[in-house]
Amino acid sequence: VARPPPADAAPRPPIVAVMGHVDHGKTTLLDTLRNTSVAAGEAGGITQAVGAFEVRMPGSAATITFLDTPGHAAFTAMRARGAAGADVAVLVVDARDGVKPQTREAIKHAAAAGAPIVVAITKCDLPDADPARVRGQLLAEGVELEAAGGAVQCVEVSARSGAGLADLEDALLLQAATMNLAASPTAPAAGVVVEARVDRGVGPVATVVVSEGTLAPGAPIVVGCEWGRVRSLTAPGGGGAVSSAGPGTPVEVAGLRGVPSAGDALTVAP
């Protein structure tokens, strides 16, 4: 599908993948930011699917789109696809447990996706927390932290108390500012599939993060090997219908003939 060069690129919200080892506090961190309770509804408190959420940050009122990626080893491939659709990867590491096997996998996935890392050391409010040990382990894994002369920002946070969340917000917005993220809102829409499913009564539904253009109902789309016409757009996580989705916005798309794969590219066709 031929795509004309964008003529009116404008700043867009950053897309951030939250990655790390199982039970290191990724979803709870997001819950605190968006004042919801996703973790409590998951099996064992462990995220079972990649989810996309748009968060208006409490400090700056800037918008950031987060991809919440599973931490369990069984979902390594899903986590890799989550990072592939992101500008920045937040590497969540428990201040007590330190670097674990899936932490190392997350570092590799972010590197393969070309996404810069911002480290969030979680649970720093607990008495046995040891952030200094975690920083030493990350340096040993090749993560070049700012404290050691590198470029990777590292923030100590506590989702339970809210400590450090403002610093994490500043770190993400600073990283995004250095990347000059921009997209044309008027170009033919394009995006990436984060997850897809068959919804009873609706049919195939794909959660898509729009990377360029504005996606609207009625648009003919090609998604990987599937195709169709956008029948409806809804906000992820049980949100209501939306009339359109611009660059950096996550949205659930109905109207495809079949279920695409996570990581598939969405393109509006003539």
Active site residue 199: no
Report the predicted TM-score, pTM, of the whole model to 2 decimal places: 0.83
CA distance 214 to 248: 10
Q: What is the mean pLDDT of residues 154-172?
A: 89
Which of 26, 100, 109, 123 is labelled catalytic?
26
Residue 23 has pLDDT above 90, yes or no: no
Task: Give yes or no: 23 in active site.
Answer: yes
Estimate to the nearest angstrom the gap between the alpha carbon of 128 and the chain centroid.
29
Question: Pick the catalytic residue: 21, 24, 27, 122?
Answer: 27
Residue 75's pLDDT is: 47
Query: Is the pLDDT assigned to residue 43 strictly greater than 70?
Result: no
What is the residue whose two structure tokens read 């109905």?
Answer: 254
CB-CB contact of 34 with 14 (8 Å): no
- Give the separation between CA 243 and CA 245, rounded to whole angstroms: 7
> Based on the number of CB atoms within 10 Å of its own CB, is 160 exposed (0-12), middle (13-18) or buried (19 or more)?
middle
Is position 72 annotated as part of the catalytic site?
A: yes
Contacts of 5 (CB under 8 A, 6+ apart): none
Instruction: Please name which of 41, 61, 4, 26 lies closest in space to residue 186, comparing C-alpha atoms.
Output: 4
Q: How far apart are CA 136 and CA 152, in angstroms?
A: 13
Question: CB of 28 within 8 A of CB of 123?
Answer: no
The residue from 36, 63, 69, 72 that is catalytic is 72
pLDDT at 42 over 90: no
Catalytic residue among 23, 97, 125, 167: 23
User: What is the model's pLDDT at position 79?
Assistant: 56
pLDDT higher at 64 or 258: 258
% of the chain with per-residue pLDDT over 90: 44
pLDDT in tens, 64-95: 888 876 544 434 555 556 666 788 989 999 99
Residue 144, token pair as written in the block: 């070049």
What pLDDT is attached to residue 93? 93
Please tell me what DSSP assigns to residue 243: S
Whether the CB-CB separation of 115 and 69 falls below 8 Å is answered with: no
Residue 203 has pLDDT above 90, yes or no: yes
Task: Residue 230: name the closest of 240, 242, 247 by CA.
Answer: 242
- Any catalytic annotation for residue 26? yes
